[in-house]
Structure 1
Amino acid sequence: MKHGCFTSVGQTKNGMKSYLVMNDVYDTFLTKSDWAYDHIVPISPDASNRKYFRLTSCSGSAILMDAELESPKSFDAFQDVANYLNSIGLSAPEIYASDRTHRLMLLQDLGVRTFAQDLEIDQALEPERYKAAISMLCRLQAGPGMKRSVATPDNLTEMLNPFFEVPEVANCTHGNLQLMRTKLHELFNRSLSKQSTLSLRDCHVENLVWIPNRTGPAQVGILDFQDAFNCDPCYDLVSLLWDVRRDLDEDLREYLINSFAFKKGIDRTQISRAINALKLQRNLRILGIFDRLVSQGKTKYATFVPRTLRYVHQALESEDCVTLNADLSLPLERYERKYESQ
């Protein structure tokens, strides 16, 4: 049975507007969870297939997550990783109730505004928020770790399939694809640490929430983590500091990299090599994912393409990635041309 949506608006007993529960699945789950609410509103969707709703009452608020279109494996991963993050003193949403059959969860509401929304209101918060995020990542990587998939050079190369499957890219790489894959594999093999740590994978300001009544790394609420895997320690650093959704002051970025290197005790040269390789890998993959999302009608992602392309070109200008510059020149030109008019 497909889950319905909250499709009409009515009045609650206290006069507030409320999205009415229009299907038995939600209604039964919320009744069993024993979480009373006065009104419920949808939260703007992200790039995933999940739907979120904020339930509020006089006693507080909670988040209803509908992951009906996600796999049971992804649903279980959300639960497992959330529990692990909380166990090491970080702040993932506490899970109040779950229904694996219908893939519903009732979650703790960590806050209304993300880091991204805070920074839109007050740019002066940028150093504080990013420094806190770096502390959170260092705490994450100091934990005992989880048994999750490992991002080997093979896996990182395979993760680039979305880019190479873009029709305009595929049309000009079919004769050269294996050579490019080999060069990318060699880049990851020589540039990345063999000592992997847990990585959130989508660590950026839209997935982080400030929790003022907590202290230390726990002040940073984490929203999206079910795809976590074990990778080079710089993976989340690159995700955070080269965010395709927003620019970051270059001096602040350099400060944060040095702070991360000092706290982790990693040589700055090694960090630079890893950053360049992962900046190329992440952003090529993102270009492929954005193209798929745009083809599905999620056209807002086209606005992030120029910045993503800029990050790719920055990586290719580095000494570490320069051997791939000629091979990727035509595919990137074709991709860029596709989005010039959008």
Structure 2
Amino acid sequence: MPEKIDAFLAAAGWADATRRPLAGDASARRYERLARPSGGRAVLMISPAADEISRFSRIGRWLREAGFSAPEIFAEDAAAGLMLLEDLGDDLLSRLLHDDPPREGEIYAFVTDFLLDLHRLPAPEFVAPLDGSALAELVELTVEHYPTLSQTAAEAVPGQIAALYAGLSPVPPVLCLRDFHAENALWLPERTGTARLGLLDFQDAVAAHPAYDLVSALQDVRRTVSPAVAARERARYAAARGLDPADFDRAYALLGAQRALRIQGVFARLAKLYGKPHYLDLMPRNWANLMHNLAHPALADLAATVTAAFPAPDAALIARLKQEAA
């Protein structure tokens, strides 16, 4: 792989750049920041999956053509799993929120404005639908990797999610970036409008219910958004789209529960199979999001099945999962 990277950078005109690692994410991808002696920076994405490069490229170009700030692509080699990208900087929303907590309301209002702009456009035809059956299939990962109290109850959860989704009021699907949260978005103050939001990690984008990315942003597993801000932005989004508030809240709770369930499985798998036990420490916050969503009256039956199926991630369970990971 080092030889392929050297050849790729030489062909792209970046052979003289210095390279240093950038923090990774909950995937097998790696990133490096490149700096040329004469000036100029870029980010090198290294992915073991060629299709990730192709999907990132296609969706990124669609976003840029629509006026959004996905990074420009300088060079790509899907077969080698390599891509050279525009460096959008270090001002992650998560860092801004950490350094200046009073800006939370302003920043999440801007996130909602971004989603409203994005969702005014029809989803591109080349992205897969995230419908009821797909939502159910994603939760099967949790049935496989997260500890269970009752395997029978656990195996019933995906089907219940699909049935509940089928009962939602129909809403045209929109483009959802899927992993949309404060560590995958950057603040670009020199740009204008919603282009001030720099976008990362969108290769898994889908056509989904418009509540999906909103719940992803407001129920961030890495930080707690204040309930008042979350409630305000949820109501503001529904009003701006002309959606029935009760219907939207039901969809928001269901999609939030589905996401939180899947994330429990993702974190368990990352620890067990990929040697990343630090993700287990995020489980309690994610579980709190799950319980909050399951408290919606429309999800009472699902709540009963989930609590019969899966144990809460208390200190003892997390310690056991860490030991198994080691």
TM-score by length of 1: 0.88
- By how many angstroms is 1:231 displaced? 0.6
Which deviations, in whole Å up to 9, do the C-alpha atoms of 1:124-161 show, x marking residues without a partner? 22222212211111111112321211111111111101
- By how many angstroms is 1:59 displaced? 2.3
2:193 to 193, 216, 236: 216
Query: What is the root-mean-square deviation in Å for CA atoms of aligned residues?
Result: 1.8
User: Gaps (5+ residues) in structure 1?
Assistant: 4-22
Counterpart CA distance in 1 for 2:214 and 2:143 is 25
Counterpart CA distance in 2 for 1:221 and 1:81 is 14
2:232 to 245, 255, 263: 255
Matched residue SS, 2:167: helix
User: Gaps (5+ residues) in structure 2?
Assistant: none
TM-score by length of 2: 0.92
Greater alpha carbon shift after TM alignment, 224-233 vs 118-127: 118-127
Which deviations, in whole Å up to 9, do the C-alpha atoms of 1:199-250 show, x marking residues without a partner? 0000000000001110111000000100000110000000000001100111
CA change 1:27–1:257 in 2 (3 A) is: same
Q: Which amino acid aligns with 1:85?
A: L
Q: Which has the higher contact order (CA 8 A, sep 6+)?
A: 2
Are residue 118 (structure 1) and residue 71 (structure 2) matched? no
- By how many angstroms is 1:167 displaced? 5.5
Matches within 5 A, 1:24-173: 24-35=3-14, 37-57=16-36, 58-67=38-47, 69-70=48-49, 72-147=50-125, 148-166=127-145, 168-169=147-148, 172-173=150-151
Instruction: Work out the number of aligned pairs and report it.
Output: 317
**Percent of pairs with identical residues:** 32
State the match for 1:8 in structure 2. none
- By how many angstroms is 1:302 displaced? 1.0
CA change 1:85–1:301 in 2 (3 A) is: same
Counterpart CA distance in 2 for 1:118 and 1:41 is 23
State the match for 1:321 in structure 2. 299
Q: Which amino acid aligns with 1:217?
A: T
CA change 1:319–1:167 in 2 (3 A) is: closer
Counterpart CA distance in 1 for 2:145 and 2:77 is 36
- By how many angstroms is 1:292 displaced? 0.5
Counterpart CA distance in 1 for 2:79 and 2:145 is 35
Which deviations, in whole Å up to 9, do the C-alpha atoms of 1:83-138 show, x marking residues without a partner? 00001111000001111221111100111231112222221222222122111111
Q: Is the 8 A contact 1:168 1:334 kept in 2?
A: no
CA change 1:179–1:30 in 2 (3 A) is: closer
Matched residue SS, 1:52: strand
Q: Is the 8 A contact 1:210 1:219 kept in 2?
A: yes
Counterpart CA distance in 2 for 1:213 and 1:286 is 34
